[in-house]
């Protein structure tokens, strides 16, 4: 009972908090139009949005809620498979919310003091942040397809407002890339969902997975859905929005974007693809997925190290990490027998990446506005999650061990090598991001006990200790840490990466002096060719349309001319009128004569 | 006794209001408003009574013989009630809106009289029990909307009115030919008596196909199927409440409703399917959907963009009924109501922007969300519904269309739906972006074209509340689609009747 209430409250509470700001503004309508103090938007209540969901994730026991009148029949559910996702997502949302109150304090103060422009932007954030959260929670909790899609769409579109918060040129470019790619994703998802749900006439995600297994063209359905969610998950080729949107969003928004929201793509895959079903017959798709995942994992690492903006580097690192996860999902398709064990590793890896990447993003704000901590303490704390993401220690080491063990057992040794190479790339990316952070570090110190440093510190603690508290498949993993004799095999990529980074560091100054081209690689890589292709296509279509239009107007002109001619002819008929009148008398006489003749002849 | 008279009284509520309005002096706007609103409320109540009666399985019919062999018949069935419910609900909203919109403008007496006649015709169309009665009101609709289209009386309006009359009258003529042909073949065609045509000898089938196409041509003019859509964007010069009504319930919907009647109640879905005519409808509607959306993209003004969007959206209804199977039927019929609610909202909002701020072009909308938040919110709901995003009603239509496509063995239609959604997003999202994310006159940048402060709120309450109410209805129709008496529920009722003998 309590769990069901919490389930409803988890979705409702962010929405209530969202409505709270406009209601307050409406009540103080007068205040809005005159210059002067304004209400505080990002208060403690605002940051409390994910709390009911967090309580739900910690509440023992499973629960299901049936909503008959809702859409086509709602089924919301919290089960053991959803719990880890819900737990780490709400935790990161909560930390990012607390962090945001500190991060945006300057805007907050300016808004309160009466700066209309800042207040407007802040209002947008205050409204859309809880809405995005509500969408995210709904997609995690929904079991019926319409609610799931609703949550996904709400999260996607509301997050646009977070991306364009800065309201400058770069932000709008990032926002546009984000929105256009997201739309293509949504469209593919809708198509795939309709097709798969329609062929089995099912309304639940479980039914959808079965439908893909049974359907004749299940492979195509799976491929469309995989691509659709792939936009969010940053599959190579569809990832172009990530490096454009991440650097421009406010740092706490980047953290949830990279930590939680791109995981929604992965959640989508796990929800709709019949992973681990031996009858699915999706091996060809699986092989493609593995290859594309590895291409993304390595390519993003290579491209990312050329970036200057630390957040862009971290965004490429997200693409790279998601590429590794994609490859693991691909294994779930090619080797279904391995999936039960692999899925545990995937959840652990995803949660680890979510929390750690969140901590790293939050750390960027910290290096820009360092708290009153000695440098010998501050920088190791910034390095810690980076090392963890590279797999050297803590949760990174544990999650790497988790999937490596499974893959070796399943005989996918080659994949492990490739993933280790990607880990080398991750190490390089981390070195690059930290280096850029160091170069762009700020000096204006903020108090240590503010919301920003505290949220960041808590994020680091939570991220590194993740395997100890994340309930995967019903409980915490028994022995998350690898035995000591496995360590060399797990740690060599980090070592190699660090060595390469060191080499690069010494060679770098030389390279940059001689070849400036390296630095002109724009964030967003494939976005630029896509954009120019779309421009050409648009111009071609417009020319074609104009051609059709002129042809159409020519046809219309011809028809009008014909009609005018016909009307003129009809008007001309009046000329015959007089002649008819003149004819009438002879006609009558003629007829009379004929009649008379007839009578006479008879 | 009273049951037979119920349809007649419903029809009379709006039919008799017209002469009463003409009798009132032009300046008596309070009396006129009271008369209009009470008639609209009364009719909504009567339609509500009939819907409840229908759920209880009662029969309502009224008829008399005009000449032997030709009967005037008003009858209540589930399909007609959907349309009647929609039109009486939106009539109420539009009456409120029109009272606010036409405040202080000349010729209001004429406007409201023809407005009532127009609604009487749509009610007649929905209650018509046979093809003859349908045709009667169908033509009455054409004639009663003309004075509304040319209401402003300026040259552009008159020209648009001429185009409108040309299209609809020739369409009506063609329809008449088809109806006469069918009449000659089987006599009086009562809706629902599908065995009449089904039992005909197969040698008549080519003739039946021909007659169907002729009638489709006649109905397609009002339903704005490409290439018969030319009048609709031109008719945009009409005042906003007229455009709203034209697009949401009256003319366009009458055409679509006529096609629904033709397929389900004259030919019967089985026969239409066997004659291969559903494929014709599918192809025609798919083409219209894509064409309308692409043309909408190119429009720079708000109302023409909405007009092309209507062309595209109304064809969803035709697409739905052309997909053989109950899901397609549900989709088409539900969309009949959903599209009405959403489109009427969009047109109200467009009217609000034009009245309050003098905005006609899309690029003038920058930052209007701050100046008129509630109107913009209603517009956002309507636009998201058109794109087909949950939880607005458009999503429900799209869902069932997709299911229907798979059921009919035409999964490629899903591709069309997806493409159409993308196109809808491409022409609606830029508007939303301008409304909410761009700085404009409300942020001290530039000036509104012609700002008037019409009321206490962001605009006059007469304009604001109908927009909000219809937006709320479109949202609820999607959000609570599973509840009884929702559009989806009614559509399911009709579909069950159609497919379960």
Going from N- to C-terminal start, the domains of chain A cover 1-271, 275-521, 530-601
**The pLDDT value given to residue A448:** 82
pLDDT, tens digit, 9 for 90 and up, residues B339-350: 999 999 999 999
pLDDT, tens digit, 9 for 90 and up, residues B106-131: 888 899 999 999 999 999 999 998 89
More confident residue, B158 or A487: B158
The pLDDT-based confidence of A112 (bands split at 50, 70, 90) is confident
Could you list the residue range(s) of the whole structural domain that residue B362 is in?
342-501
Q: Which residues in chain A touch residue B424, judged by CB atoms under 8 angstroms apart?
A: none
Q: Are the CB atoms for B21 and B116 separated by under 8 Å?
A: yes
Phi, psi for residue B392 in degrees, rounded to 5: -75, 160
Q: Are the CB atoms for B404 and B325 separated by under 8 Å?
A: yes
Integer CA distances (angstroms), B124 to A72, A268, B134, in order: 32, 49, 7
Tell whether the model's pLDDT for residue A514 goes beyond 70: no
- Among A221, A227, A222, A312, smallest CA distance to A265 is for A227
Tell whether the model's pLDDT for residue A159 goes beyond 70: yes
Report d(CA B477, CA B469) in Å as an integer: 12
- Enumerate residues 6+ apart whose C-beta is below 8 A from A585: none
Tell whether the model's pLDDT for residue B290 goes beyond 70: yes
Upstream peptide bond of B391 is cis (omega within 30 degrees of 0): yes
Q: Which of A71, A117, A552 to mutate to test the interface with B (most CBs of B within 10 A)?
A: A71
> What is the model's pTM?
0.92
Determine how β-strand B61-67 pairs with β-strand B70-75.
antiparallel
More confident residue, B246 or A10: A10
Report d(CA A277, CA A259) in Å as an integer: 29
Terminal CA-to-CA distance of chain B, rounded, Å? Answer: 29
Tell whether the model's pLDDT for residue A261 goes beyond 90: yes
Q: Using CB atoms, which residue from A116, A150, A167 is nearest to B390?
A: A150
Q: Please answer yes or no on whether A149 and B390 come within 8 Å at the CB atom.
A: yes
Tell whether the model's pLDDT for residue A517 goes beyond 70: no
**The pLDDT value given to residue A411:** 84
Among the residue ranges A185-194, A266-275, A507-516, the one predicted with the least confidence is A507-516
pLDDT, tens digit, 9 for 90 and up, residues B321-376: 999 989 999 999 999 999 999 999 999 999 999 989 999 999 999 989 888 989 99
> For residue A338, what is the DSSP state?
G
- Among A331, A322, A340, A409, smallest CA distance to A81 is for A340
Q: Which residues in chain B touch residue A217, judged by CB atoms under 8 angstroms apart?
A: 411
**The pLDDT value given to residue A33:** 60
The pLDDT-based confidence of A34 (bands split at 50, 70, 90) is low
Q: Please answer yes or no on whether B391 and A150 come within 8 Å at the CB atom.
A: yes
Q: Please answer yes or no on whether B479 and A71 come within 8 Å at the CB atom.
A: yes
Q: Which residues in chain A touch residue B399, judged by CB atoms under 8 angstroms apart?
A: 72, 146, 194
Helix axes B108-127, B29-55, angle to 10 degrees: 10
pLDDT, tens digit, 9 for 90 and up, residues A310-325: 999 999 999 999 999 9
Q: Is residue B153 part of a domain?
A: no
Please tell me the distance in Å from B405's CA to the nearest CA on chain A: 8
Please tell me the distance in Å from A444's CA to the nearest CA on chain B: 32
Q: Which residues in chain A touch residue B398, judged by CB atoms under 8 angstroms apart?
A: 190, 194
> For residue B442, what is the DSSP state?
G
Q: Is residue B128 part of a domain?
A: no
Whether ipTM tops 0.85, in short, is yes
**What percent of chain B stands above pLDDT 90?**
52
Phi, psi for residue A189 in degrees, rounded to 5: -65, -45
Burial class (CB in 10 A: 0-12, 13-18, 19+), A483: exposed
Q: Using CB atoms, which residue from B298, B418, B481 is nearest to A191?
A: B418
Exposure of A551 in the CB half-sphere (CA atoms within 13 A): 6
Helix axes A169-200, A241-248, angle to 10 degrees: 130
Q: Which residues in chain B touch residue A72, judged by CB atoms under 8 angstroms apart?
A: 396, 399, 481-482
DSSP B312-380: HHHHHHHHHHHSSSHHHHHHHHHHHHHHHHHHHHHHHHHHHHHHHH---BGGG-TTHHHHSHHHHHHHH
Report d(CA B312, CA B292) in Å as an integer: 5
Distance of CA B139 to the CA centre of its chain: 16
Distance of CA B158 to the CA centre of its chain: 23
Q: Using CB atoms, which residue from B391, B403, B439 is nearest to A194?
A: B403
Q: Are the CB atoms for A20 and A49 separated by under 8 Å?
A: no
pLDDT, tens digit, 9 for 90 and up, residues A80-93: 889 999 999 999 99
pLDDT, tens digit, 9 for 90 and up, residues A328-374: 999 999 988 889 889 889 999 999 999 999 999 999 999 988 888 88
Please state the domain count of chain B: 1
Q: Are the CB atoms for A326 and A296 separated by under 8 Å?
A: yes
Among the residue ranges A29-33, A227-231, A414-418, B22-26, the one predicted with the least confidence is A29-33
Please tell me the distance in Å from A195's CA to the nearest CA on chain B: 7
More confident residue, B96 or B497: B96
Q: Which residues in chain B touch residue A73, judged by CB atoms under 8 angstroms apart?
A: 482
Q: Is B290 left (phi over 0), alpha (psi -120 to 50) or beta?
A: alpha
Among chain A residues, the shortest Cα distance to B404 is held by A198
What are the b/e assignments for B355-380, b being 16+ CB within 10 Å?
bbbebbebebbbbbbbbbbbbbbbbb
Read off the tokens for A214.
Answer: 């049974």
pLDDT, tens digit, 9 for 90 and up, residues B176-216: 999 999 988 888 888 888 878 888 888 889 999 999 999 99
- Among A328, A378, A388, smallest CA distance to A358 is for A388
**What percent of chain A stands above pLDDT 70?**
96
Tell whether the model's pLDDT for residue B421 goes beyond 50: yes
Q: Are the CB atoms for A383 and A434 separated by under 8 Å?
A: yes
Mean pLDDT of A581-602: 86
**The pLDDT value given to residue B460:** 86
Mean pLDDT of B305-311: 92
Integer CA distances (angstroms), A105 to A123, A316, A328, A450, A535, in order: 14, 28, 41, 11, 40
Q: Is residue B140 part of a domain?
A: no
Integer CA distances (angstroms), B347 to A13, B146, B303, B340, B376, in order: 33, 19, 7, 11, 12
Q: Are the CB atoms for B142 and B124 separated by under 8 Å?
A: no
Helix (H, G, I), strand (E, B) or coil at B411: coil
Q: Are the CB atoms for A54 and A222 separated by under 8 Å?
A: no
Report d(CA B353, CA B435) in Å as an integer: 11
- Enumerate residues 6+ apart whose C-beta is below 8 A from B187: B69
What average pLDDT does the structure give for chain A? 88
Mean pLDDT of A289-307: 91
Phi, psi for residue B164 in degrees, rounded to 5: -60, -50
Chain A residues bordering chain B (beta-carbon distance below 8 Å): 22, 68-73, 116-117, 120, 124, 146, 149-150, 153, 157, 161, 164, 167, 179, 183-184, 186-188, 190-191, 193-195, 197-199, 201, 217, 545
Mean pLDDT of B299-325: 92
Report d(CA A493, CA A549) in Å as an integer: 61
Query: In what helix (H) or strand (E) does residue A63 lie, and over which residues does it extend?
Result: strand A63-67
More confident residue, A515 or B283: B283
- Among A96, A126, A95, smallest CA distance to A108 is for A126
**What percent of chain B stands above pLDDT 70?**
99
Q: Is residue B334 part of a domain?
A: no
Compute and round to an integer the Cα radius of gyration of chain A: 32
Query: In what helix (H) or strand (E) does residue A76 lie, and over which residues does it extend?
Result: strand A74-78
**The pLDDT value given to residue B1:** 41
pLDDT, tens digit, 9 for 90 and up, residues B427-469: 999 999 999 988 888 877 888 888 888 877 788 888 999 999 9
Q: Is residue B374 part of a domain?
A: yes
Alpha helix locations (H) across A369-393?
375-390
Mean pLDDT of B398-424: 93
Q: Which residues in chain B touch residue A146, judged by CB atoms under 8 angstroms apart?
A: 390, 395, 399
> For residue A261, what is the DSSP state?
I
The pLDDT-based confidence of A36 (bands split at 50, 70, 90) is low
Mean pLDDT of A148-176: 93
Distance of CA A395 to the CA centre of its chain: 24
Determine how β-strand A471-472 pairs with β-strand A475-476.
antiparallel
E strands present in B23-92? 61-67, 70-75
Report d(CA A141, CA A343) in Å as an integer: 18
Please tell me the distance in Å from A270's CA to the nearest CA on chain B: 22
Please tell me the distance in Å from A543's CA to the nearest CA on chain B: 12
- Paired residues of A476 in beta bridges: A471
Tell whether the model's pLDDT for residue A187 goes beyond 60: yes
- Enumerate residues 6+ apart whose C-beta is below 8 A from A376: none
Report d(CA A595, CA A593) in Å as an integer: 5
Phi, psi for residue B455 in degrees, rounded to 5: -160, -175
């Amino acid at each position: 009972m309590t769990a069901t209430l919490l389930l409803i409250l988890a979705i409702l509470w962010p929405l209530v908090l969202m409505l709270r700001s406009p209601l307050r503004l409406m009540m103080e309508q007068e205040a809005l139009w005159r210059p002067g103090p304004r209400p505080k938007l990002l208060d403690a209540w605002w940051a409390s949005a994910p709390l009911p969901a967090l309580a739900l994730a910690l509440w023992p026991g499973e629960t299901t809620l049936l909503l008959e009148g809702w859409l086509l029949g709602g089924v919301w559910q919290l089960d053991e498979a959803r719990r880890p996702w819900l737990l780490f997502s709400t935790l990161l949302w909560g930390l990012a919310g607390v962090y945001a109150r500190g991060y945006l304090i300057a805007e907050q103060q300016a808004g309160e003091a009466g700066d209309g422009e800042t207040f407007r932007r802040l209002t947008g954030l205050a409204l859309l942040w809880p809405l995005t959260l509500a969408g995210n929670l709904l997609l995690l909790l929904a079991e019926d397809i319409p609610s799931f899609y609703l949550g996904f769409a709400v999260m996607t579109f509301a997050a646009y407002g977070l991306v364009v918060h800065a309201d400058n040129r770069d932000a709008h470019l990032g926002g546009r890339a984000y929105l256009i790619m997201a739309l293509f994703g949504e469209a593919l998802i809708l198509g795939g969902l309709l097709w798969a749900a329609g062929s089995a006439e099912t309304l639940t995600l479980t039914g959808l997975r079965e439908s893909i297994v049974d359907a004749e063209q299940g492979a195509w359905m799976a491929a469309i859905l995989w691509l659709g969610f792939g936009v969010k998950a940053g599959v190579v080729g569809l990832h172009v929005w990530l490096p454009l949107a991440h650097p421009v969003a406010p740092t706490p928004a980047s953290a949830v974007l990279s930590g939680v929201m791109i995981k929604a793509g992965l959640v989508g895959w796990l929800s709709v693809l019949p992973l681990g079903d031996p009858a699915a017959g999706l091996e060809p798709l699986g092989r493609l997925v593995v290859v594309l995942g590895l291409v993304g994992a390595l390519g993003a690492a290579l491209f990312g190290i050329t970036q200057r903006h630390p957040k862009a580097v971290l965004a490429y690192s997200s693409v790279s990490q998601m590429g590794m996860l994609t490859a693991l999902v691909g294994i779930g398709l090619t080797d279904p027998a391995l999936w039960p064990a692999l899925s545990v590793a995937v959840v652990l890896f995803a949660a680890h990446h979510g929390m750690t990447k969140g901590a790293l993003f939050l750390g960027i704000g910290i290096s820009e506005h360092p708290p009153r901590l000695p440098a010998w303490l501050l920088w190791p704390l910034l390095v810690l999650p980076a090392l963890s993401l590279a797999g050297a220690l803590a949760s990174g080491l544990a999650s790497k061990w988790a999937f490596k063990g499974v893959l070796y057992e399943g005989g996918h040794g080659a994949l492990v090598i490739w993933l280790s190479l990607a880990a080398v790339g991750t190490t390089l990316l981390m070195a690059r991001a930290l280096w850029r952070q160091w170069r762009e570090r700020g000096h204006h110190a903020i108090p240590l006990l503010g919301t920003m440093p505290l949220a960041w510190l808590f994020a680091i603690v939570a991220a590194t200790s993740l395997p100890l508290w994340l309930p995967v498949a019903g409980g915490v993993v028994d022995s998350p840490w690898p035995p000591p004799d496995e360590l060399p095999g797990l740690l060599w990529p980090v070592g190699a990466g660090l060595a390469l980074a060191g080499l690069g560091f010494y060679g770098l100054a030389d390279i940059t002096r001689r070849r400036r081209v390296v630095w002109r690689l724009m964030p967003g890589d494939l976005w630029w060719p896509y954009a120019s292709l779309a421009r050409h296509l648009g111009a071609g279509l417009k020319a074609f349309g104009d051609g059709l239009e002129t042809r159409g107007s020519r046809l219309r002109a011809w028809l009008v001319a014909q009609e005018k001619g016909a009307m003129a002819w009809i008007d001309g008929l009046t000329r015959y009128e007089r002649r008819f009148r003149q004819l009438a008398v002879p006609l009558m006489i003629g007829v009379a004569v004929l009649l008379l003749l007839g009578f006479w002849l008879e | 006794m009273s049951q037979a008279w119920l349809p007649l009284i419903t029809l009379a509520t709006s039919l008799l209001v017209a002469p009463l309005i003409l009798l009132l002096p032009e300046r008596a706007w309070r009396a006129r408003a009271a008369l209009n609103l009470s008639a609209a409320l009364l009719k909504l109540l009567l339609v509500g009574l009939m819907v409840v009666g229908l759920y209880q399985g009662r029969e309502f019919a009224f008829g008399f013989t005009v000449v032997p062999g030709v009967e005037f018949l008003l009858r209540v069935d589930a399909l007609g009630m959907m349309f009647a419910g929609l039109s009486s609900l939106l009539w109420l909203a539009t009456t409120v809106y029109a009272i606010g919109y036409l405040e202080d403008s000349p010729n209001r007496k004429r406007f409201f009289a023809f407005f009532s006649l127009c609604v009487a015709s749509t009610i007649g169309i929905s209650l018509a029990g046979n093809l003859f009665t349908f045709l009667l009101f169908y033509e009455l609709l054409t004639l009663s909307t003309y004075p509304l289209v040319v209401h402003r009386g300026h040259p552009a309006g008159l020209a648009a009115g001429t185009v409108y009359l040309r299209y609809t009258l020739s369409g009506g003529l063609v329809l008449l030919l088809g109806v006469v042909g069918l009449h000659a073949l089987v006599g009086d065609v009562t809706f629902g008596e599908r065995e009449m045509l089904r039992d005909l000898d197969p040698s008549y089938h080519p003739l039946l196909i021909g007659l169907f196409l002729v009638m489709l041509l006649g109905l397609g003019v009002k339903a704005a199927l490409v290439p018969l859509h030319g009048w609709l964007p031109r008719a945009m010069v009409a005042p906003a409440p007229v455009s709203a009504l034209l697009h949401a319930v009256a003319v366009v919907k009458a055409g679509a409703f006529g096609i629904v009647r033709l397929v389900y109640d004259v030919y019967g879905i089985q026969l239409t399917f066997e004659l291969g005519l559903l494929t014709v409808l599918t192809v025609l509607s798919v083409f219209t959907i894509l064409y309308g959306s692409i043309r909408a993209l190119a429009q720079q003004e708000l109302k023409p963009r909405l007009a092309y969007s209507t062309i595209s959206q109304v064809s969803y209804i035709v697409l739905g009924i052309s997909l053989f199977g109950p899901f397609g039927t549900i989709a088409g019929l539900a969309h009949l109501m959903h599209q009405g609610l959403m489109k009427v909202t969009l047109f109200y909002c467009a009217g609000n922007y034009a009245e309050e701020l003098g905005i006609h072009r899309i690029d003038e909308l920058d930052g209007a969300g701050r100046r008129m938040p509630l109107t913009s919110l209603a517009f956002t709901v309507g636009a998201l519904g058109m794109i087909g995003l949950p939880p607005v009603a458009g999503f429900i239509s799209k869902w069932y269309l997709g299911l229907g496509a798979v059921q009919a063995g035409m999964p490629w239609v899903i591709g069309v739906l997806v493409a159409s959604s993308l196109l809808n997003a491409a022409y609606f999202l830029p508007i939303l972006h301008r409304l909410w994310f761009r700085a404009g006159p409300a942020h001290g940048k530039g000036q509104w074209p012609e700002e008037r402060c019409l009321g206490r709120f962001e605009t006059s309450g007469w304009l604001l509340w109908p927009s909000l109410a219809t937006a709320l209805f479109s949202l609820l129709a999607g959000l609570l689609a599973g509840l009884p008496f929702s559009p989806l529920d009614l559509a399911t009722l009709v579909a069950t009747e159609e497919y379960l003998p």
